[in-house]
Structure 1
Amino acid sequence: MIKKGIRRQIVMHYFIVVFSTLLLAEVIFLVAIRSYYYDSIYSHITNHIKQVEDYQKFSTTMNDGKDDLGSLLTVYKLSFTEMQILNVQGDVLINSSEFQPDESLKTSDISQAQSGNIGRWVGRQPNTGENVMAVSKMEQNNGQDAYIVRYVTSLERVNDKLFNVTMIATAVAAAVLALVLAFSLGLANSIVKPLNTITAVSAQMARGKFNIRIKGNYKYELGELASTLNYMAQEIIRSNQVKDDFISSISHELRTPLTSIKGWSETINSGGYDPEETKIGMEIITKETERLIGLVEEILDFSKLQQNEMKVSFARVDLKELLQEIMLNLWTKAEKRSIELRIDSVDKPIVEGDANRLKQVFLNLVDNAIKFSHENSAIDLIVSFEGNNVVVQVHDTGIGISEDHLVKVKDRFFQVDPLNGGTGLGLAISQQLVELHHGILLIQSELGVGTTIVVRLPRLLEDDSPADSPELPMLPGASS
């Protein structure tokens, strides 16, 4: 007995469908064969009875017509068939066998003949139990009912042939069912065995063995399932590696400012230093504390985004003004590396969004551009309209990103250059913040040539804002 499972379900379904189909086909076939044989016998006897209608010389009286009825029996009898002549009441007057019934015959063929039709009856002879067919027809003489001609033939030989045909058909059906059973078992095994293999490998993956892979060239949905699980394991390994790198990186990022804070705190507490040196130490402590706060806030923002708890307050935002403010914030950092920040914007690129969150996005993008640009280069911020969208491009001619890194650069914890500092969450957070504003963020880059980051946001067409805000002062060397 096949144990419960997919194998059993497949085998049972195939078997039941084929068995039902074969059973129906065999019943129809056997009924048709039986009807064919029985109808052939009936047709043969009926055609023979019609020849009797030409006989017009018989007497219907018990005494005078007996010799004529005997002649009728001699001329129209059939081989292996008993011929009977009955009166209109159903009593046997004469027959071709030695057996003479004592009672009137009451079978349905006689009643049908008495009503003017050719009667047919299939059943068992009361005295012998033999399976027979009887065909009866009322014959007339001078327009009056004269007698009933009745033929009775045995169906035993026909039934024997039908039984043999039934046995052959049953054997064929059994052979077909055996083939279907073998085929369904093979089909079930071709599905269940790969599933068992996939299940076993998946169980090992669930126990943390992500280096194991599902091997085998499986087809169709099973192949897709195996490929998906292998890809999942690969991604988990990559995510774990990225997470480990992140932990290592964030540990370094946290240790460096904490070391500085601790060192200067101990130095200040020890006393004996002049006020100028103490002021420098306090500035370093403040700077490193702000750096720590930035790291923690970045991690908290990412956590909120992952849990869908990030709250945004939508209002009208002029992206040109926002980018000018960002340029002011980062101008000192860019100036230290002789990097020129330039803006080229259309008038009133208005979007609906959270100004603080959008500022966070573009601060991260421009800060990254400064971080990975060469000295004495330029970074262009280009704002344009594209249909019902506002498109912001942050373009630099820095080190660029390789193709291998480009597909991963927006993944959480991923860092193109771990030695450059950071958590590897900036672009991941920016991506999700842009999506919260129903926009998209695209990165186009070529190693050694530069990078262009494109942010596309829905444009707010209705201008129902109050008076225009005054433009922020331009940076030295900036163009608009």
Structure 2
Amino acid sequence: MSLITAFLLTTWLYESRAHGMIQDVLAENGTQMIEIYQSTPSAELVPFMQKVSGLFPTLLQLYDREGKPLLEQEWPLQVDPADIELVLAGEKFNGMKKAENAHMPKLPVVGIPFQADGQPYALFVTMQSNEIDMELMNSIHLLYVLILFIGSFLIIIAARYIVKPIRRLTDATKRMARGQFDIELPTKRKDELGVLSVSFNQMAKELGKLDQMRRDFVSNVSHEIGTPLTSISGFTKALKQKQMSEEDRLRYLTIIETESERLSRLSQNLLRLSRLQHDNKPLKISRYKLDEQIRRVVIGLEPQWAEKDIEIELDAEPLMIEADEDQLGQVWINLLSNSIKFTPESGKIVIEASMKYNKIVVSITDNGMGIPEEERADIFKPFHKVDKARHSSVKGNGLGLSIVKQIVDNHQGDIRVLGELGTGATFEVTLPMGQQ
């Protein structure tokens, strides 16, 4: 389309502008010839015009009042009688006329009226056939053809350069759709396709992580459900035996009850986490005293920390907050229960709540073993446990901190873990004073 447009534009420029300029030159030359003749009294009209024709790069033809040509020479154009009559009547003529030779293009022609010896004449002036002009136009047309073929060839090469990475990307997306996420595209290019490849590699890596999390989640759920179910099934079969002491029977029933409660807690936590992650219902915002809420949580968990003879130190400023009271209460219960769980006998837990930089900061610090640096990025994932062996002495299913993280995120807050391994762990929650 570009070449066709260029061809039409070139033709238009040549015919409209170049031909217009040529016609002006022809009119000027014809006028000068007439003036020279009129300034030479002894000159005869027809011989004079016959001699000057061809001196300039022009050809002349002279018509009398009857429209007959007077010059005996080769005249390449077909002049209409109506145009001759127009010039004889005193009007100038400018136009393009077909040549006698059909292979020649149209030529510009100018008709100029004048009188000699009281008789009207029409002098028509045209340019001589210029082979150079024809060769120039043919060269331009040939150039267009060369541009077409060379440009098409270069476009094919460029298209392969562009399409090849797109095909590679298409193949990678198909592999990803089949569940293969270990894909890495070359990223040496610096253009938009290179940026797209980098983004695709990042997406593949993140989807791989999500897929691994999904597998771990299924594995962890199976483990958390399978263990108590195995215990319940085993001890239920044991209870069917007739020869069993009352003490053993009560012990087996206690184990079954404990494992049933463990399953119940697991299902409740899974349901709570799912609702927090997918429920679009707005938070039930209310304004209340945060320090009083934390005190009530500490008092409510007294049986747990008193059983381990743990010292609780609470330093909470009077704080008002706008938040979902029930959900934040679950945050403090989970965090404090977690600290009690990992604090040794006769240990100490410090709870602080204060205002810093127009935000509320609550920290809960224990003096347990702490959390390794490499584990801190994963402790808020579902079912993640720092205790890889899942020792039975430490109760829990690894969902408490996931619930805490989701609630804090829903409140546009932040939670992080501080402390050094062996000296205890600090969970620090930062919350805005009010919800937007």
The bucket for the TM-score relative to the shorter chain is 0.7 to 0.9
2:71 is the counterpart of 1:96: yes
Cα shift at 1:361: 1.9
Looking at structure 2, the residues matched to 281 and 99 of structure 1 have their Cα atoms a distance apart, in angstroms, of 129
Q: Tell me if structure 1 keeps the 8 A contact 2:92–2:111.
A: yes
Decide which of 351, 371, 377 is 2:322's aligned counterpart: 351
- For 1:139, the equivalent position in structure 2 comes to 114
Cα shift at 1:297: 0.6
Looking at structure 1, the residues matched to 246 and 273 of structure 2 have their Cα atoms a distance apart, in angstroms, of 43
Q: Tell me if structure 1 keeps the 8 A contact 2:291–2:316.
A: yes
Cα shift at 1:150: 0.8
Q: Which amino acid aligns with 1:45?
A: N
Cα shift at 1:165: 2.0
Looking at structure 2, the residues matched to 83 and 244 of structure 1 have their Cα atoms a distance apart, in angstroms, of 97
Q: Secondary structure at the match of 2:171?
A: helix
Cα shift at 1:298: 0.8
Q: Secondary structure at the match of 1:164?
A: helix
**1:280-322, Cα deviation, whole Å (9 max, x unpaired):** 6655554443322111111122233344267864444432222
**1:27-64, Cα deviation, whole Å (9 max, x unpaired):** 34543675277347525523533533752737xxxxxx
Q: Tell me if structure 2 keeps the 8 A contact 1:330–1:367.
A: yes
Looking at structure 2, the residues matched to 220 and 369 of structure 1 have their Cα atoms a distance apart, in angstroms, of 52
Q: Which amino acid aligns with 2:416?
A: I
- Specify whether residues 447 and 51 from structure 1 end up closer, same or farther in structure 2 by C-alpha distance, changes over 3 A only: farther
Query: Which runs of structure 2 are paired with 1:313-392 in the superposition (5 Å)?
Result: 313-355=284-326, 357-373=327-343, 377-385=347-355, 389-392=359-362
Q: Secondary structure at the match of 2:176?
A: helix
Q: Secondary structure at the match of 1:442?
A: strand
Q: Which amino acid aligns with 2:156?
A: L
Cα shift at 1:445: 2.8
Q: Secondary structure at the match of 1:324?
A: helix
Q: Secondary structure at the match of 2:81?
A: coil
Looking at structure 1, the residues matched to 310 and 34 of structure 2 have their Cα atoms a distance apart, in angstroms, of 120
- For 1:45, the equivalent position in structure 2 comes to 29
Decide which of 16, 27, 30 is 2:11's aligned counterpart: 27
- Specify whether residues 327 and 98 from structure 1 end up closer, same or farther in structure 2 by C-alpha distance, changes over 3 A only: closer
- For 1:445, the equivalent position in structure 2 comes to 418
Cα shift at 1:415: 3.3
- Specify whether residues 335 and 237 from structure 1 end up closer, same or farther in structure 2 by C-alpha distance, changes over 3 A only: farther
- For 2:160, the equivalent position in structure 1 comes to 189
Q: Secondary structure at the match of 2:112?
A: strand
Q: Secondary structure at the match of 2:145?
A: helix
**1:365-408, Cα deviation, whole Å (9 max, x unpaired):** 22233344566554333323356654333344554445543333
Q: Which amino acid aligns with 1:358?
A: L
**1:231-257, Cα deviation, whole Å (9 max, x unpaired):** 444444444444444444444444554
- For 2:96, the equivalent position in structure 1 comes to 122
Looking at structure 2, the residues matched to 251 and 194 of structure 1 have their Cα atoms a distance apart, in angstroms, of 42
Cα shift at 1:210: 3.5
Looking at structure 2, the residues matched to 315 and 85 of structure 1 have their Cα atoms a distance apart, in angstroms, of 107
- For 1:429, the equivalent position in structure 2 comes to 403
Q: Tell me if structure 2 keeps the 8 A contact 1:109–1:134.
A: no
Please, which moves more after superposition, 422-431 or 398-407? Answer: 398-407
TM-score, normalised with respect to structure 1: 0.71
Decide which of 329, 346, 363 is 1:393's aligned counterpart: 363
Looking at structure 2, the residues matched to 40 and 269 of structure 1 have their Cα atoms a distance apart, in angstroms, of 125
Q: Secondary structure at the match of 2:378?
A: coil
Q: Which has the higher contact order (CA 8 A, sep 6+)?
A: 1
Q: Secondary structure at the match of 1:46?
A: helix
- Extract unaligned runs of 5+ from structure 2: none
Decide which of 246, 250, 271 is 1:300's aligned counterpart: 271
Q: Secondary structure at the match of 1:418?
A: coil
Q: Tell me if structure 2 keeps the 8 A contact 1:352–1:459.
A: yes
- Specify whether residues 170 and 260 from structure 1 end up closer, same or farther in structure 2 by C-alpha distance, changes over 3 A only: same
Q: Which amino acid aligns with 1:147?
A: P
- For 1:6, the equivalent position in structure 2 comes to none
Please, which moves more after superposition, 331-340 or 122-131? Answer: 122-131
- For 1:68, the equivalent position in structure 2 comes to 44
**1:338-374, Cα deviation, whole Å (9 max, x unpaired):** 543332222242323142x222222222223334456
Q: Secondary structure at the match of 1:31?
A: helix
Q: Tell me if structure 2 keeps the 8 A contact 1:49–1:149.
A: no
Looking at structure 1, the residues matched to 119 and 231 of structure 2 have their Cα atoms a distance apart, in angstroms, of 135
TM-score, normalised with respect to structure 2: 0.77
Q: CA RMSD in A?
A: 4.2
Decide which of 347, 372, 377 is 1:407's aligned counterpart: 377
Looking at structure 2, the residues matched to 250 and 206 of structure 1 have their Cα atoms a distance apart, in angstroms, of 26
Q: Which amino acid aligns with 1:55?
A: S
Please, which moves more after superposition, 24-33 or 345-354? Answer: 24-33
- Specify whether residues 337 and 105 from structure 1 end up closer, same or farther in structure 2 by C-alpha distance, changes over 3 A only: closer
Q: Tell me if structure 2 keeps the 8 A contact 1:389–1:459.
A: no
Cα shift at 1:106: 2.8
Q: Secondary structure at the match of 2:169?
A: helix
**1:256-289, Cα deviation, whole Å (9 max, x unpaired):** 54455556664598576467x7766655554443
Q: Which amino acid aligns with 1:73?
A: M
